[in-house]
Structure 1
Amino acid sequence: MLDALRRVLQALWGAVRRAGSLLYTAVAWPLRARHSEAGRRAYLFRGAVALVVLVLIAAYAQFFWRTQVWNGFDPAFAKAYGFADRKVAAGQQVGDKPGTCQNSAIVTTVADLTDFNVNQNDWVSSALLYKLGFFGLDWDDTPFFDNKASFQRGVNQVARRVGIVLADDLGRVRGTSGINTDLQDARGNIQFNEGTWYFGANPFGFKTPTPSYYRAAISSWRKFNSSLETCNAVFDARADNLVKLLDGLASDLGNTSDILRRRSEEHGGGWFDTRADDRFWFAYGQLYGQYALFQAARADFIDVVRERNLTAIWAELEKQFESALRIQPLIVSNGSEDGIFMPNHLSTMGFYTLRVRANMVELRAVLQR
């Protein structure tokens, strides 16, 4: 009797437990489902945030590399061309070979300077992260990541000036013949805006970035030199054309020396002047490009140099370039001119810039006698 009652109670208890389990499942299942979905969403959100962070870290690591590593930097790079060994002016027949003329050292140099800017290195000024700045603040207003961009713009200023003189004067016979189409294309492309990315707001839409235009200029210059080598183009290496080249380059250095002077006089801060490095490295870039260019011009205008006895003056000019380009401070300071702990690198660079310009003016005076 007792055994039968025990079995009945056990069966009832089992039924109650099963019913309770079913009720719990019925009530908790929707909550579990929602919790599981929310968990999946949380994991997806965290994954997306992590991916964005990783992309930003990779992008800024690449940006750091592009702005801090200067590939191919060598103020004396033009010496490797052997321009000093040339015996024939640009555009003149080489030896007894008919249909073979000397190419232009100036064109070779300006093409390679631009190649150095956009192929051997990344063109910093049009990079997206450079354009976005530091939390909206222009990188040029900070002490970070802007030295290479300023240097490249200084080199590019030389290329722009030379591009104009080549198209308007050196690539034509006394300015009366038609403009060489390759030199004309190069002049237009090298003048293109320095900060254009793939997309812009003014005007709104997709764009061709700056480096593409500069690469097109390189191609046009090299095409011109190829035509010159086969005597199918003109390089008019006359004294008055050398004067025009000197005038343009000296004018650019005059503007730069004035920028250095005003920054030095109107601002201070020593190591903490965040714009001093921009001014310094822009000037350095100009001198870097012009030093190489004058070694090339000496070869292209070799007949003029001989006839006007310019060898000694030209050598002094190159010596001044070399002295200026030896100044490579780790941190640019805009302190007082007699400062010990905070020197004034802008005044020093301005001094050498004016020395170089004075030698150009002296060259010009001899050519006009």
Structure 2
Amino acid sequence: MSSTTSSTTGIFFDRLIVGVDRLVTGGLLLKIVAVFAVAAALYYPVGMAITHRINDDLAYQPAPTEASQTVAMVAGLIDREVARTPWVADSPWFFAASALDDMANFQQGVISGLHGVVGAFGGALAGNDGDLTAAAGGLAYPGDRWRAFFETTPTTEPPSEEVYLEARKALLSYDRRASAGEAAFDPSAPALAAFLVQIRAEVGATLLGIDRQIASAGAFNRANDDVYMTAKGQAYAWAMSLAALGRDGAATLEAGAVAVAWSRMVETLNRVATLRPWVVTNGAADALVVPNHLASQGFLLARAQADIDAVIAALGG
């Protein structure tokens, strides 16, 4: 029995050696290796090209809600960036999308900006409503949580997308109750002014981050575009939300001076939101060849702050 087994094993290994020899000498192995090498080389660039999307469309219109156009805009942007566009911030390294840092930072900037909007809306226009408090808490959740055992940041916590979509549900719940008269919704002049005071603080915090990057990093520092794209996403969220809030408060903004100031504020944020340099550099302020995109962005955000101040003053705040 042992002799038969030994003979069978020997035949198997002989055939294996012959098969490998044919692969090598016939060139088939080289062809297989070449195919895998080409596939590996194309995986990231092709996957990135298919996934990449920085959606700074100012004409975007969300599905309408019952009470507030601002809530509709925030809920729509969450749905668009999280459910209808790949959320790439939590993609592990073996996904091609993990290399799309500009897209990831833009998306996280949008969510960060919406977090500020929801917090300000709840505090100023909705009497600290519980649904809005829950939504703001959800939007503060880190953007890099994926799934248990495979996360960018290892954790057993729920994935980022799931938490953000739950925040969206809380927003829509508030809107339904506001429409039924069961929740506060006050787009009066004092409320709008209080809302803008909080947004101004959000803009100021972003400006500080830009200033720190300008002061501490070189012209081609890898974090330059991270800071820039995050601020771009925040500005987009603020611009779209403030445009919607202007429609919510149309009766309050009927006075010419207030309406003009509000439009100027939104337009300035639109400019920040739609800037698209090919490469973000942090050059000298008077550079000819290597500009300072962060400084340009910071200038426009500072101008937006001044516009916000003008609206607050026009509202009597």
Shorter chain as normaliser: what TM range? 0.7 to 0.9
Give yes or no for contact 1:150–1:282 (8 Å, CA) kept in 2. yes
Structure of higher CA gyration radius: 1
Using structure 1 for the length normalisation, give the TM-score.
0.70
Give yes or no for contact 1:158–1:249 (8 Å, CA) kept in 2. no
Asked if 1:303 is matched to 2:258, the reply is no
2:14 corresponds in structure 1 to 35
Asked if 1:170 is matched to 2:125, the reply is yes
1:330 corresponds in structure 2 to 278
In structure 2, relative to structure 1, the CA distance for the partners of 1:275 and 1:74 (3 Å cut) is closer
2:160 corresponds in structure 1 to 210
Per the TM alignment, residue 240 of structure 1 is displaced from its structure 2 partner at its CA by 3.0
Per the TM alignment, residue 202 of structure 1 is displaced from its structure 2 partner at its CA by 11
Give yes or no for contact 1:196–1:208 (8 Å, CA) kept in 2. yes
Runs of 4+ in 1 over 4 A off after TM superposition: 27-30, 37-43, 49-59, 80-83, 200-205
Between stretches 115-124 and 234-243, larger displacement belongs to: 234-243
Asked if 1:283 is matched to 2:231, the reply is yes
1:253-310 deviation line (CA, Å, top 9, x unaligned): 11211222222233223xx322111111111111111111111111222233236941
2:26 corresponds in structure 1 to none
Per the TM alignment, residue 232 of structure 1 is displaced from its structure 2 partner at its CA by 3.7
2:139 counterpart (182, 190, 193): 190
Per the TM alignment, residue 151 of structure 1 is displaced from its structure 2 partner at its CA by 0.8
Per the TM alignment, residue 353 of structure 1 is displaced from its structure 2 partner at its CA by 0.7
Q: Which runs of 5+ in 2 are unaligned?
A: 24-28
* Partner amino acid, structure 1, of 2:77: L
1:59-113 deviation line (CA, Å, top 9, x unaligned): 746751465234xx243125x5799xxxxxxxxxxxxxxxxx9610110111112
Equivalent position SS for 1:310: helix
Give yes or no for contact 1:114–1:214 (8 Å, CA) kept in 2. yes
Give yes or no for contact 2:272–2:300 (8 Å, CA) kept in 1. yes
Task: Return the alpha-carbon distance in structure 2 between the equivalents of residues 81 and 203 of structure 1.
Answer: 32
2:71 counterpart (77, 102, 107): 107
Identity of aligned residues (%): 21
Task: Return the alpha-carbon distance in structure 1 between the equivalents of residues 264 and 171 of structure 2.
Answer: 29
Give yes or no for contact 2:282–2:291 (8 Å, CA) kept in 1. yes
1:76 counterpart (58, 63, 71): 58
Asked if 1:257 is matched to 2:241, the reply is no
2:307 corresponds in structure 1 to 359
1:236 corresponds in structure 2 to 186
Equivalent position SS for 2:290: coil
2:240 counterpart (292, 300, 325): 292
1:22 corresponds in structure 2 to none
Task: Return the alpha-carbon distance in structure 1 between the equivalents of residues 278 and 183 of structure 2.
Answer: 45
Task: Return the alpha-carbon distance in structure 2 between the equivalents of residues 40 and 247 of structure 1.
Answer: 75
Give yes or no for contact 2:88–2:100 (8 Å, CA) kept in 1. no
Q: Which runs of 5+ in 1 are unaligned?
A: 1-24, 84-100
2:289 counterpart (341, 347, 364): 341
1:199 corresponds in structure 2 to 148
Equivalent position SS for 1:107: helix
* Partner amino acid, structure 1, of 2:269: F
Using structure 2 for the length normalisation, give the TM-score.
0.80
* Partner amino acid, structure 1, of 2:284: S
Give yes or no for contact 1:67–1:148 (8 Å, CA) kept in 2. no
How many pairs does the alignment contain?
304
Task: Return the alpha-carbon distance in structure 1 between the equivalents of residues 50 and 226 of structure 2.
Answer: 17
In structure 2, relative to structure 1, the CA distance for the partners of 1:62 and 1:242 (3 Å cut) is farther
Give yes or no for contact 1:66–1:124 (8 Å, CA) kept in 2. no
Task: Return the alpha-carbon distance in structure 1 between the equivalents of residues 86 and 276 of structure 2.
Answer: 21
Equivalent position SS for 1:334: coil
